[in-house]
């Protein structure tokens, strides 16, 4: 009942994709998502070298025989990312699908396609989605204003982006961010999306490596507990509302230069929040869908809840 162009293209059971996530999307989580019928995607940005990504791919393969992908983040970073090497490892290892993010995937599209790797490019606007299609992406993930990560500064919600994208593009469209339950999965499919891409809900899963205090902070949060920062440096990101992110916002209000923001926004602080549970420390990305997450469940329970919830709604509407 939930068969779509994306389940067919990726050879997965359900139209549910776990977006690549720095620090969080490691072998255990990714394998759990793929084993439960979705598509798990390994993060790459946290690996200092391509060989460490290769090790994580091998570790994931020991935990699942189902398809999984790798995320290649092309956004500007405070350290130079070894993306050329990551792409080489992906091709050598026969990974079937890559999620590229922002930036310019042009550089890698030919190499990936020659190695039979499908490319899903993640964007935040219709203009960028059209461009991704024109350069040969196999699918686009459109992330709305409500999602974790770097929603574009146009501030358009998924509710409006998806139908326009579906009307404009020929390749499949995935609805990125803000979907934490079966009602939202059904709504995304109704709008024409071929799958959802979720992150925040998997951060709170049993298999996620995030610190228990971090998971608890997200369980306590409501849909209003995220804010947008880094607008002044044209790199907007949706983060958890805490002492540090509010301080960054105040600094941006008084037009503090980038150099002053760095100590508070650097990835290492976010890592300590996720992995060591220092939830007031650092800026870390979280989507507005956090408001619907009420308990720590296994990945299988999360995926089953999405599927049963969506199927119930579809049955009810058909009746």
Residues that bind ligand FMN (CB under 6 A): 19-22, 24, 43, 45, 71, 73, 101, 122, 143, 147-149, 176-178, 197-200, 203, 285-287, 289
Shortest CB 57 distance to ligand FMN, Å: 16
Query: Which residue number, 38 or 149, has a Cβ lying nearer to ligand FMN?
Result: 149
Query: Which residue number, 62 or 296, has a Cβ lying nearer to ligand FMN?
Result: 296
Query: Which residue number, 120 or 169, has a Cβ lying nearer to ligand FMN?
Result: 120
Cα dihedral value 26, 60, 38, 44, nearest 10: 40
Query: Which residue number, 7 or 226, has a Cβ lying nearer to ligand FMN?
Result: 226
Q: Which DSSP string corresponds to 235-253?
A: --EEEE-SHHHHHHHHHHH
Closest listed residue to residue 20, CA positions, set 5, 33, 10 = 33
The pairing of strands 237-240 and 226-229 is: antiparallel
Shortest CB 110 distance to ligand FMN, Å: 21
Query: Which residue number, 253 or 273, has a Cβ lying nearer to ligand FMN?
Result: 273
Query: Which residue number, 256 or 304, has a Cβ lying nearer to ligand FMN?
Result: 304
What does the radius of gyration of the chain's CA atoms come to, in whole angstroms?
18
Query: Which residue number, 9 or 39, has a Cβ lying nearer to ligand FMN?
Result: 39
Closest listed residue to residue 27, CA positions, set 40, 46, 12, 10 = 40
Strands (E) in the chain, as ranges, are 16-18, 40-42, 68-73, 97-101, 118-123, 139-143, 173-176, 195-198, 226-229, 237-240
Shortest CB 76 distance to ligand FMN, Å: 13
Shortest CB 263 distance to ligand FMN, Å: 20
Q: What phi and psi, each to the nearest 5 degrees, are found at residue 139?
A: -160, 160
- The HSE-up count of residue 51 (CA atoms within 13 Å, CB side) is 0
Shortest CB 88 distance to ligand FMN, Å: 19
Shortest CB 135 distance to ligand FMN, Å: 18
Shortest CB 8 distance to ligand FMN, Å: 22
192-202 residues labelled b (16+ CB within 10 A) or e (exposed): bbbbbbbbbbb
């Amino acid at each position: 009942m939930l068969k779509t162009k994306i389940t067919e293209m990726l050879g997965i059971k359900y139209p549910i994709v776990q977006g690549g996530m720095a620090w969080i999307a490691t072998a255990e989580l990714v394998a759990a998502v793929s084993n439960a019928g979705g598509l798990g995607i390994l993060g790459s940005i946290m690996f200092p070298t391509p060989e460490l990504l290769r090790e994580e791919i091998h570790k994931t393969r020991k935990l699942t025989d189902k398809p999984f992908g790798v995320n290649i983040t092309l956004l500007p970073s405070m350290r130079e990312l070894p993306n050329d090497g990551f792409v080489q490892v992906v091709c050598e290892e026969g990974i079937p699908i890559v999620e590229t993010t922002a930036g310019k995937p042009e550089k890698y599209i030919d190499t990936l396609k020659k190695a039979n790797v499908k490319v899903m490019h993640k964007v935040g606007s219709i203009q960028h989605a059209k461009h991704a299609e024109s350069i040969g992406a196999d699918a686009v993930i459109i992330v709305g204003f409500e999602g974790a990560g770097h929603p574009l500064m146009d501030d358009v919600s998924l509710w409006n982006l998806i139908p326009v994208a579906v009307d404009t593009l020929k390749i499949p469209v995935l609805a990125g961010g803000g979907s934490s339950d079966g009602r939202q999965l059904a709504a995304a499919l109704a709008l024409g999306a071929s799958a959802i891409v979720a992150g925040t809900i998997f951060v709170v899963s049993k298999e996620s490596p995030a610190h228990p205090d971090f998971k608890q902070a997200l369980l306590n949060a409501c849909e209003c507990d995220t804010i947008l920062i880094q607008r002044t440096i044209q790199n907007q990101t949706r983060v958890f509302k805490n002492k540090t992110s509010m301080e960054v916002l105040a600094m941006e209000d008084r037009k503090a230069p980038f150099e002053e923001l760095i100590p508070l926004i650097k990835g290492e602080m976010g890592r300590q929040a996720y992995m060591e549970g220092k939830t007031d420390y650092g800026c870390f990305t979280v989507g507005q869908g956090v408001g619907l997450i009420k308990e720590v469940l296994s990945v299988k329970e999360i995926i089953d809840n999405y599927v049963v919830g969506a199927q119930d709604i579809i049955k009810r509407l058909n009746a």
